[in-house]
């Protein structure tokens, strides 16, 4: 799939389906990969935050989340196939993960929110193989334990909801300590799915 640069951030022109296929291809191959969902706020933040810009430039896939990103492409005479939101991609990954019994870990959000999101998603998609959840409010002393758990439970897909840009920086800093897994920053997605 092609890439469209929005203010120097390379965003992949993928459909929701293509984005999901990419994730499960990585999972099947046991690859480590990072996924980001870019909206206008994230692209603007990356103009001032060089670390975030660098992370997005090196991510394995940045998807076009947000009407502002689609609009900005049209200003350059380009067109994304469709908007791929974090919520839609997370749901689509959880549905496919249920079908394949992929090991999923949900990290982030307030205490209990990820568990409530899991309960709702299981009602929709059947039994999802959730290997663990952890709230996104943790101490420095707890962090290594969370990383060890994600790794030792054999996590294949890790959804990280710590807000932008904390989640992108956390993923970049720890991606290679987590075992072979695909990590995606999902922002407020657990809050949406738990409702
Ligand atoms: N969050 C967290 N730990 C933090 C800060 C935020 O787990 O230290 C969670 C928060 O509970 C919320 C999500 O990260 O579920 C951020 O969602 P929001 O919609 O505010 O962020 P954005 O999508 O703009 O990044």
The per-residue pLDDT for range 37-80, each reduced to its tens digit, is 999 999 999 999 999 999 999 999 999 999 999 999 999 999 99
Q: How far apart are the first and last CA of the chain?
A: 34
Question: Residue 167 Cα, ligand 1 centroid: separation in angstroms?
Answer: 8
Which residues neighbour 73 within 8 Å (Cβ) at sequence distance 6 or greater?
A: 4, 6, 11, 64, 79, 80
Q: Whose CA is nearest to atom 5 of ligand 1?
A: 162
**For residue 24, pLDDT beyond 90:** yes
Q: Give the per-residue pLDDT at 6.
A: 98
Mutate to test the pocket of ligand 1, among 163, 192, 194 (most ligand atoms within 8 A of CB): 163
Q: Does residue 192 carry a pLDDT above 90? A: yes
Note whether 180 and 32 are within 8 A (CB): yes
Token reading at 8: 């120097």
Residue (of 118, 84, 112, 101) closest to 156 by Cα position: 101
CATH number at residue 12: 3.40.50
82-138 pLDDT, tens per residue?
999 999 999 999 999 999 999 999 999 999 999 999 999 999 999 999 999 999 999
Owning domain of residue 47:
3-193
pLDDT at 9: 98
Q: Which residues line ligand 1 (CB under 6 A)?
A: 108-110, 136-137, 161-164, 166, 187-188, 190-191
pLDDT at 120: 98
Rg over CA atoms, the chain: 16
Q: Whose CA is nearest to atom 23 of ligand 1?
A: 187
* Whole-number Å distance between alpha carbons of 84 and 189: 13
pLDDT band at 154 (very low <50, low <70, confident <90, very high): very high
Task: Decide if 185 contacts 160 (C-beta within 8 A).
Answer: yes
pLDDT tops 90 at residue 1:
no
Q: How many domains does the chain have?
A: 1
């Amino acid at each position: 799939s092609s890439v469209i640069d929005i203010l120097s951030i390379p965003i992949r022109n993928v459909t929701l389906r293509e984005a999901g296929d990419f994730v499960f291809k990585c999972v099947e191959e046991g690859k480590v990969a990072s996924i980001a969902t870019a909206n206008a706020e994230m692209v603007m933040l990356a103009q001032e935050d060089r670390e975030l810009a660098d992370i997005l430039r090196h991510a394995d896939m940045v998807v076009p989340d947000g009407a502002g990103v689609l609009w900005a492409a049209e200003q350059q005479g380009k067109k994304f196939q469709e908007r791929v939101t974090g919520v839609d991609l997370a749901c689509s990954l959880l549905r496919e993960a249920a079908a394949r019994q992929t090991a999923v870990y949900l990290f982030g959000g307030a205490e209990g929110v990820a568990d409530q999101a899991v309960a709702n998603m299981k009602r929709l998609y059947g039994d999802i193989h959730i290997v663990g959840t952890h709230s996104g409010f943790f101490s420095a002393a707890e962090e290594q334990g969370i990383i060890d758990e994600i790794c030792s439970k054999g996590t294949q897909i890790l959804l990280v909801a710590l807000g932008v840009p904390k989640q992108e920086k956390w993923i970049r800093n720890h991606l290679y300590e987590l075992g072979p897994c695909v990590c995606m920053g999902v922002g407020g997605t657990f809050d949406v799915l738990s409702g």
